[in-house]
Amino acid sequence: MSEARRYQQLRSHFSYLKLDNAAEALPRILDQARAENLSMTAALERLLEIEVNATEERRLAGRLRFACLPDPWTLADFDFAAQPGVDEKLIRDLATLRFLDDASNVLFVGPPGVGKTMLATALARGTAEAGNRVYFTTAADLAARCHKAAVEGRWATCMRFFAGPKLLVIDELGYLPLPGDGASALFQVINQRYLKSSTILTTNVGIADWATAFGDATVAAAMLDRLLHRATVVGIDGPSYRLRSHQSTSDKLRKAVNAHVS
């Protein structure tokens, strides 16, 4: 078999196996092999590394689409200096994702605007990048989805969906009133995940006030019992991170306008 025919046959094999990135990189890798006098093993490793990296990128993109994160925030985007109410050392430890190993939970508790959602999103993205399935929802949307599933006879399917991800983020608990069966639905989701998978929850309601906020002391107590059994509670009592960001943007615009006028 001639070298030209062998080369075309190799590309055909890649195409048949759907190794499109390796097929595209083949000419470049062959040139590198000649220029650097690479062994067959070294050249093959480089070629397959390209395909593996491309496959991982596609899988990550799929996990991020499924996750429905509100923004592409990472921990590097969070300005710890701007929010002294956050324990940076604790957040860095959570970012190792060790809490996923024993299905521990994380509760971010604090007033609006202090960075709870941003931190939860950053941890969720890190979890997805580590190869795990993640899903992000608000408490109100979760309750509405569960209610609709119950009405349509899909309750078991809905519970399996929320039980599935390695990490479930429930954002904004307490911001909007839950429907009549909302607290019960939230408890059922948390109970499904108890000791099996991790949940991150953000809320502006202090733990001591859950019974009053959700209108059912029994359900609130049962929910907290499961959430806090293995949990890290991150209380944030500092200035509004969001308002500080808005103020910084306004100051920059004002300076730019003043400079233009002068």
pTM of the prediction? 0.84
Residue type, 1: M
Average pLDDT score over residue span 229-242: 83
| Structural domains of the chain, with CATH | 3-63 (no CATH), 75-244 (3.40.50.300)
Name the burial class of residue 72, with classes exposed (0-12), middle (13-18) and buried (19+) by CB atoms within 10 angstroms of its CB.
exposed
Q: Which two tokens stand for residue 63?
A: 């996990």
Assign 250 a pLDDT band (cuts: 50, 70, 90). Answer: very low
Assign 258 a pLDDT band (cuts: 50, 70, 90). Answer: low
Residues 199 and 139: beta-carbon distance below 8 Å: no
